[in-house]
């Protein structure tokens, strides 16, 4: 079997091998020609729509003319359809241990429908539960049955990749885990009908291990997502107060251990209440988002920006002394930020914990603001 322009598609290769094909890949027309000249026998050729050195359609036409007894098909996003179009000999060289894997791969749509139906009857799941990527997950589970990962190796790479996407699409951990419990039941029933009795316990152990690994991936991905969400301010997309406390502990530890400096800047967006009262809260939100964007555009890769209150922001500046903070503020202004006031503090000199540093920076911010307003008040007295 030749696959021209496959781009290293691991799933397609495994599906072809599952059906008894020996696969050779070629990434271009010239590579395919060399492989074809050396091939002694061909079961079929799969050609991508476009290749680096020419049109896949032209190559297909030339191959169909040259190899009249060989099936030539176009590479598509549906691996099962591609395999079916080749009309491979279903039992050619197939090891008995692969019966289960091929059964799942050949019945993806039917098993997905059965899985969805079972989930909708499960009292632990919402009655109208949706299973995005149901067929994608069944495809990789079927292929993993043919190539199980040893216990110490972790999940099958394809199962891991699709399970991560499945967890993200479902969103809820309890729904994702419950759906995988239902998938285990569907696979157990289907395998019991397809696998010889003397091999069933072995195949079920393999299937259960694959589902267990998928559950681990789903749980880990969901936990990571929830942790990320817990550290993000939803309005601006900046990190929040909880993230600042976490990161400040890290910087304090580094500073205490290695004697490194770090500074922080506290920023207040000027006039937010007036904007909210005059133009509405949507206008205020726009100002907050604009300031957040300018902060991100103005910082170094090692710096971090946080929104810790309604109009209050903090910038953490590792390896920076206080003398460098005015330049940071100037970059933020130059980026087009709305008017803001700021004050800074240096670890060690101005405090040894986050609260002390923020308090010092706040005092300097308010002092700067008072100094800026003082001439105006004096002018009014004259």
Per-residue pLDDT of the chain (382 residues; tens, 9 = 90+): 455 444 446 667 666 766 666 777 777 777 777 777 776 667 777 777 777 777 777 777 777 777 777 777 777 766 666 766 776 655 444 554 577 888 888 889 999 999 999 999 999 999 888 899 999 999 999 888 887 666 667 778 889 999 999 999 998 899 999 999 999 999 999 999 888 888 889 889 989 999 999 999 999 999 888 888 889 999 999 999 999 999 999 999 988 888 888 999 999 999 999 999 999 999 999 999 999 999 999 999 999 999 998 999 999 999 998 889 999 999 999 999 999 999 999 999 999 999 999 999 999 999 988 887 665 444 444 3
Q: Which of 152, 314, 150, 142 is nearest to 240 (CA)?
A: 314
What CATH number was assigned to the domain covering residues 2-86? 3.40.50.2300
Nearby residues of 34 by Cβ (< 8 Å), 6 or more positions away: 26
Question: Hey, where are the domains in the chain?
Answer: 2-86, 96-230, 241-381
Please tell me the CATH code under which domain 96-230 is placed. 1.10.490
pLDDT recorded at residue 291: 96
What's the pLDDT at 149? 67
Between CA 308 and CA 295 the distance in angstroms is 14
The answer to whether residues 318 and 251 touch, using CB atoms and an 8 Å cutoff, is yes
Is domain 241-381 given the CATH code 3.40.50.2300 in the classification?
A: no
**Residue 350 has what pLDDT?**
94
What's the pLDDT score for residue 151?
A: 61
Predicted confidence at residue 260, as pLDDT, reads 83
103/94 Cα distance (integer angstroms): 12
Query: 2, 42 in Cβ contact below 8 A?
Result: yes
For the whole model, what pTM was predicted?
A: 0.58
Question: Beta-carbon neighbour count of residue 138 at 10 Å?
Answer: 23
Q: What is the pLDDT of residue 198?
A: 85
């Amino acid at each position: 079997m030749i696959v021209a322009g496959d781009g290293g598609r691991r799933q397609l290769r495994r599906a072809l091998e599952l059906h008894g094909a020996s696969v050779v890949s070629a990434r271009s027309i010239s590579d395919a020609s060399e492989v074809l000249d050396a091939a002694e026998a061909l079961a079929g050729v799969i050609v991508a729509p476009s290749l680096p050195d020419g049109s896949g359609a032209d190559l297909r036409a030339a191959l169909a003319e040259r190899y009249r007894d060989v099936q030539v098909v176009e590479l598509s996003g549906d691996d099962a359809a591609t395999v079916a179009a080749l009309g491979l000999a279903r039992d050619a060289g197939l090891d008995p241990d692969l019966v289960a894997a091929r059964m799942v791969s050949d019945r993806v749509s039917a098993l997905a429908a059965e899985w969805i139906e079972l989930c909708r009857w499960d009292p632990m799941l919402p009655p109208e539960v949706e299973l995005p990527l149901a067929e994608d997950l069944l495809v990789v589970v079927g292929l993993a049955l043919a190539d199980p990962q040893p216990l110490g190796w972790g999940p099958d790479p394809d199962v891991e990749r699709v399970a991560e996407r499945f967890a993200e699409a479902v969103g809820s951990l309890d729904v994702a885990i419950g759906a995988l419990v239902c998938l285990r039941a569907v696979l157990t029933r289907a395998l019991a009908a397809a696998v010889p009795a003397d091999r069933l316990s072995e195949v079920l152990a393999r299937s259960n291990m694959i589902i267990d690994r998928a559950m681990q991936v789903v749980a880990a991905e969901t936990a990571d997502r929830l942790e990320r969400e817990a550290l993000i301010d939803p309005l601006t997309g900046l990190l929040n107060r909880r993230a600042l406390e976490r990161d400040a502990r890290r910087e304090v530890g580094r500073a205490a251990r290695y004697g490194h400096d770090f500074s922080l800047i506290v920023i207040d967006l000027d006039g937010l209440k007036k904007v909210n009262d005059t133009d509405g809260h949507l206008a205020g939100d726009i100002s907050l988002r604009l300031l957040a964007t300018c902060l991100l555009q103005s910082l170094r890769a090692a710096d971090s920006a946080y929104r810790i209150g309604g109009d209050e922001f903090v910038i953490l500046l590792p390896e920076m002394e206080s003398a460098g903070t005015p330049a940071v503020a100037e970059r933020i202004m130059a980026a087009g930020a709305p008017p803001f006031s700021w004050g800074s503090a240096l670890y060690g000199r101005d405090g040894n914990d986050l609260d002390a540093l923020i308090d010092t920076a706040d005092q300097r911010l308010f002092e700067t603001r008072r100094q800026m307003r003082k001439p105006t008040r004096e002018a009014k007295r004259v």
